[in-house]
Copies of this chain bind each other. A is one copy, B any other.
Amino acid sequence: MSDRSHETLRLAVDLVILTVRKRTFRVLLIARGNEPFQGRLALPGGFLRTGESIEAAAARELEEETGLKGDELPLQQIGTYGDPDRDPRGRVVSVTYLAIAPNLPTPVAGSDAADARWRPVAPLLEKPGQLAFDHDRILADAVEEARRRLEYTTLATRFCADTFTIGELRDVYELVWGMRLDPRNFNRKVTKADGFLVQTDAKRAHETGRPAALYRRGPAEKLHPAMLRNGSEE
């Protein structure tokens, strides 16, 4: 009964990299170049190397897929998935990380042969079964975690460029949560929250309308008071 692991177990790292692009909530997916699940969409990821910490593996994969270093884009561990039959090649346990990306200048500089693209999240959640392995479930868990973190942390500013308007920040909340928010009350809430935003002197004009003040990400990590989502759903 005392069954020491004679099977080879491999540890993988998978990344759920979320962004807001073209007014749509998106996730970075690759098209798999090899079996299993050849041609299917999957989360970027890879195997742990000898002597490498799990965080380092996640940061390395992130850089390979997006060109971003881990210290530019914080990674958060969100869960570990290890059902015995989740990978037909053998026993693979996957530690998953969540990263939130701003609208990146380069579309994606994938070092992998397979092309990597930003795909809208909504249809993937509505119709599961499109992704390889158990990545449907991983994606759903990660999105739920991201939605929760918008409430209690200053994560939302990670979706934005270095400076941004409150309207752009509101777009993040509306697109990730999938609901409309009152622009006036939203404005007050985020400007009042301690350390969330730092105002700059600059302003940005649009085609029409009053120019918006530009803000920078503040020092706070936790959001006080929290932004709760009980408003009118879309």
Q: A residues touching B (Cβ–Cβ < 8 Å)?
A: 3-7, 9-11, 47-54, 77, 79-80, 82-84, 93, 95
Contact = CB atoms under 8 A, between A and B. Distances in A.
A3 B82 contact: no
Given A5-B11, A7-B50, A80 B80 contact: yes
A84 B48 CA distance: 11
Contact of A5 (B6, B50, B54, B82): B50
A49 B84 CA distance: 10
A49 B95 CA distance: 18
A97 to B, nearest CB: 10
Closest 3 pairs between A and B when the two form their complex, measured CB to CB: A54-B82, A3-B49, A80-B80
20 contacts: A4-B47, A5-B47, A5-B48, A5-B49, A7-B50, A7-B51, A9-B11, A11-B82, A11-B93, A48-B82, A53-B83, A53-B84, A54-B80, A54-B82, A54-B83, A54-B93, A77-B79, A77-B80, A80-B95, A82-B95
Contacts of A93: 11, 54, 93
Nearest to A56: B84
B4 A84 contact: no
A83 B48 CA distance: 12
Given A5-B47, A7-B51, A11-B11, 10 more contacts: A3-B50, A5-B50, A9-B11, A11-B82, A48-B82, A51-B84, A52-B84, A54-B93, A80-B95, A93-B93
